[in-house]
């Protein structure tokens, strides 16, 4: 692998061609605006639905129960997001210590 001015050269592949520029532009347009049409279609479908009266199985969103469930869900989701990194660091440190690669 060759490096020139901070750029990595892969087997002489020149990415500054019309083909790559057009393909990348289309990918960026689809990535940015291709999501908008399905979201607008979904909003239109949801806007035309009839409102249904609250029944005995409906969870009201203005109660402390809903707030507590929402806060609990956010805390659990955040903990599960960071738990692998927090749990693996001491395990990795112990493995490196027993292998003799970590000195105190």
Q: Are 69 and 92 found together in one domain?
A: yes
> Do 68 and 83 share a domain, yes or no?
yes
What's the whole-model pTM score? 0.46
Please indicate, yes or no, whether residues 1 and 39 belong to a single structural domain of this protein.
yes
Whole-number average pLDDT of the chain:
84
Query: Looking at 15-24, 37-46, 51-60, 85-94, which range is the least confident one?
Result: 85-94
Between residues 83 and 67, which one has the greater pLDDT? 67
Same domain for 60 and 104, yes or no, is yes
Q: How many domains does the chain have?
A: 2
Same domain, 97 and 75: yes
Q: Are 62 and 55 in contact (CB under 8 A)?
A: no
- Output 74 or 101, whichever has higher pLDDT: 74
Using pLDDT thresholds of 50, 70 and 90, give the confidence band for residue 102: low
17 pLDDT band, cuts 50/70/90, is: confident
Q: Are residue 73 and residue 89 in the same domain, yes or no? A: yes
What torsion do the CA atoms of 61, 67, 71, 72 make, to the nearest 10 degrees? -90
Q: Which structural domain range is residue 40 located in?
A: 1-49
């Amino acid at each position: 692998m060759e490096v020139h001015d901070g750029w990595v050269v892969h087997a002489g592949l020149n990415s500054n061609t019309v083909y790559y520029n057009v393909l990348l532009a289309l990918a960026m347009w689809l990535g940015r605006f291709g999501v908008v049409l399905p979201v607008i279609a979904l909003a239109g479908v949801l806007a035309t639905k009839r409102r249904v009266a609250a029944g005995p199985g409906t969870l009201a969103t203005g109660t402390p129960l809903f707030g507590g469930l929402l806060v609990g869900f956010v805390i659990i989701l955040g903990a599960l997001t960071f738990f692998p990194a927090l749990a693996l660091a001491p395990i990795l440190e112990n493995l490196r210590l027993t292998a003799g690669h970590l000195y105190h």
